[in-house]
Amino acid sequence: MTIWLLIALVALFVVRRVFSGYAVSGRKFKVLAPREVVFLTSTAEVMFPADGAIPFSGIEADLPGYADRFLGAIEPGVRWQIRALFMLFEHATLIFPAPGWTGMRRFSSLTIAQRELVLQGWSQSPKFLRQISFTALRAVLTMGYLGHPVVMRHLGVAPYAIDTPVCEADLLYPAIGLHPDEIRYREQDLSPPSDGTPLDIEGPLHPDYALPTQGIAPEADT
């Protein structure tokens, strides 16, 4: 009887810790569960703060939205591994707690200072598995952050508006992230090659990366 009671208490603890207490976003995500959205938001806040080297935060870059699109585009096996990585960091504070008497709370429930120290512990750990886990988590979020138009403009790597010809290779390969059956071009779409005019480095940016007339202030890019 005592054993079953202990098992029930442990099960209750696991369910409450893993699934309950997470705020539900008004947005609809294709892959991410509410608990993963909360975790990614809390991680983005620490990894890419608003007062960092680039004056544009990870929250402003909508890293949960990026992660949702990224997970939706990859193979199910890899998707499962990345989601397991999110859960690992969210609940590993049971084993690697943050400083303070609340250090064993879920990662997303810690203070910003505690979260910073937790991630620092992972990145500087003498254990290789902890370091490589942190590197994997950082890679997922960094791809989303560096790919955001505001960040790319700040770094001077935003793509220009270029009229690219359609060549034979475009008939063989889909756009990045798409499947072969989603190749958009056909033979009738082929066009003459470029005339060799040099790219104007002062020319306009691609519409998806150009500075909007309203919204983000221009000084955030400089």
Task: Tell me which amino acid residue 134 is.
Answer: F
Is 75 domain-assigned? yes
- Evaluate whether 107 touches 91 at the Cβ level (below 8 Å): yes
The whole domain housing 91 covers 14-146
- Domain membership of residue 91 (yes or no) is yes
Q: Is residue 220 part of a domain?
A: no
The answer to whether residue 203 is domain-embedded is no
Is residue 136 within 8 A of residue 122, CB to CB? The reply is no
Indicate whether 177 belongs to any domain: no
Q: Are 156 and 148 in contact (CB under 8 A)?
A: no
Is 184 inside any structural domain?
no
CB neighbour class for 57 (10 Å; exposed up to 12, middle 13-18, buried from 19): middle
- Please give the model's pTM, rounded to 2 decimal places: 0.79
Task: Tally the domains of the chain.
Answer: 1
In 3D, which of 45, 14, 23, 61 has the Cα closest to residue 115? 45
Residue 26 covered by a domain:
yes
In a domain, 131, yes or no: yes
In tens digits, what is the pLDDT along the chain, a chain of 222 residues?
Answer: 678 666 666 556 555 666 566 777 778 999 999 999 999 999 999 999 999 999 999 999 999 999 999 999 999 999 999 999 999 999 999 999 999 999 999 999 999 999 999 999 999 999 999 999 999 999 999 999 999 999 999 999 999 888 889 999 899 988 877 888 889 898 999 999 888 888 888 888 988 898 875 334 444 443
